[in-house]
Amino acid sequence: MRRVTPKVFLIGETQVHLDGMEDYLKHLGDGAIEWLEKYTSADTDDPLPCPSQPELLSEFYGRLCYRSWKPGLNANVTKIREGNDVYLDNVLKVKHGSVIEHAVVNLVFADVSRVFTHELVRHRAGVAISQESLRFVRLTDLGLWLPPEAESQPWLVEMFEKTYKTLEELQVTMAERLGLDDEGVQFSEKKVLTSMMRRLAPEGMSTTIGASFNFRALRHVLTMRTPKGAESEMRVVMDQLGPMCKERWPNLFADFTRDQDGTWTPKYEKV
């Protein structure tokens, strides 16, 4: 039995194919490419700070909807918002959330409990999930994280640790008596027995889950899973995610503020 701390790892995010984006804008003609050049070209007379690629893609799809690359491309558009920060702020303000569904972020939540994963998988729209399978992964070393309400009570800490040690010993004993490591035991047989053995594993034991979110979904999860009424472990983990979002995608999360109690609240809700 070991004590663990839940963690979040960023392992991927949407990458823009700039050549393809340029080709499309040139296909439109009438100077549409000038919008992109203000971010990417060193030769432009009026450069703009280049946003992250997910934020650039979100702005691209928003402008595609209204052909608002520059004034005049759409006869109804006589002026446009300049800059990714200004543009995305308006997207969030008017709740044009569909355009921020195109970009995706890939995360791994490690040393989280099955309690956490059961809560996380309730988010389905705009979310992809890949979870460590305890049908295949044999339990040999149970990880334990205690929520604050248990950590503050010494007798509860003792009870949790004692129970986890006992349940870990049960996993090892079952594996030995079932001969899972004996020569010639096929993986197909190990899988069946490992699946049976996990029924004596605690729901609070540490595991790993991978999740990919589009940014509309990620904003929703951060909003729903950090208030006081949210599950304790969810709040701890999502409070790690909030600063990452603010730092890496500042224009998509500029409207979020963090209260002293760890609640992340957007100015523009239900985008």
Classify residue 171: in a domain, yes or no. Answer: yes
* pLDDT for position 41: 79
**pLDDT for 227 beyond 90:** yes
Contact, 249 vs 52, CB < 8 A?
yes
Provide the angle, in degrees to the nearest 10, between the axes of the packed helices 154-178 and 187-197.
150
Contact 185, 125 (CB under 8 A): no
Would 60 be classed as within a structural domain?
yes
**Exposed / middle / buried, residue 94 (Cβ in 10 Å: 0-12, 13-18, 19+):** exposed
For residue range 105-160, list pLDDT tens digits in order. 999 999 999 999 999 999 999 999 999 999 999 999 999 999 999 999 999 999 99
In angstroms, rounded to a whole number, what is the distance separating the alpha carbons of residues 216 and 204? 29
For residue 45, is pLDDT > 80? no
Write down which residue in 200, 219, 247 finishes a domain. Answer: 200
In a domain, 81, yes or no: yes
The structural domain count of the chain equals 2
Query: Which regions of the chain does DSSP assign to beta strands (E)?
Result: 2-3, 7-13, 104-113, 127-131, 143-144, 206-214, 256-258, 264-266
pLDDT digits (tens, 9 = 90+) for 10-37: 999 999 999 999 999 999 999 999 999 9
Is 248 in a helix, a strand, or coil? helix
Dig out the tokens for 71 from the structure: 């004034």
Residue type, 257: T
The confidence score (pLDDT) of residue 47 equals 79
Question: For residue 103, what pLDDT is reported?
Answer: 98
Question: Does a structural domain hold residue 7?
Answer: no
Structural domain includes residue 263: no
What are the strands, taking DSSP E only, across 32-189? 104-113, 127-131, 143-144
How far is the CA of 175 from the CAs of 22, 37, 87, 137, 199, in angstroms?
58, 62, 58, 12, 13
Looking at the structure, do residues 76 and 21 belong to the same domain, yes or no?
yes
Q: Is 208 among the domain residues? A: no
Among the candidates 56, 77, 100, a domain finishes at 100
Give the angle subtended at the CA of 91 by the CAs of 87 and 95, to the nearest 5°.
Answer: 170
Report whether pLDDT(46) > 90.
no
From CA 245, how far away is CA 239, in angstroms rounded?
10
Q: Write the pLDDT tens digit of every residue in 160-216.
A: 999 999 999 999 999 999 999 999 999 999 999 999 999 999 999 999 999 999 999
Per-residue pLDDT of 48-104, as tens digits, reads 889 999 999 999 999 999 999 999 999 999 999 999 999 999 999 999 999 999 999
Q: What is the pLDDT of residue 248?
A: 97
Do 82 and 30 belong together in one domain? yes
The predicted structure's pLDDT at residue 49: 87
217: number of Cβ within 10 Å:
22
| Paired sense of beta strands 127-131 and 143-144, if any | unpaired
Angstrom distances, CA of residue 208 to CA of 133, 202, 243: 9, 15, 21
Amino acid at 21: M
Domain-terminating residue out of 180, 200, 220? 200
- Residue 188's domain comprises 135-200
- Does residue 159 sit within a domain? yes
Q: Is residue 265 part of a domain?
A: no
* CB neighbour burial string for 48-78, b if at least 16 within 10 angstroms, e if fewer: beebbbbbbbbbbbbbeeebbbbeebeeeee
Shared domain for 84 and 26, answered yes or no, is yes
Residues 84, 144 within the same domain: no
Residues 25 and 95 in one domain: yes
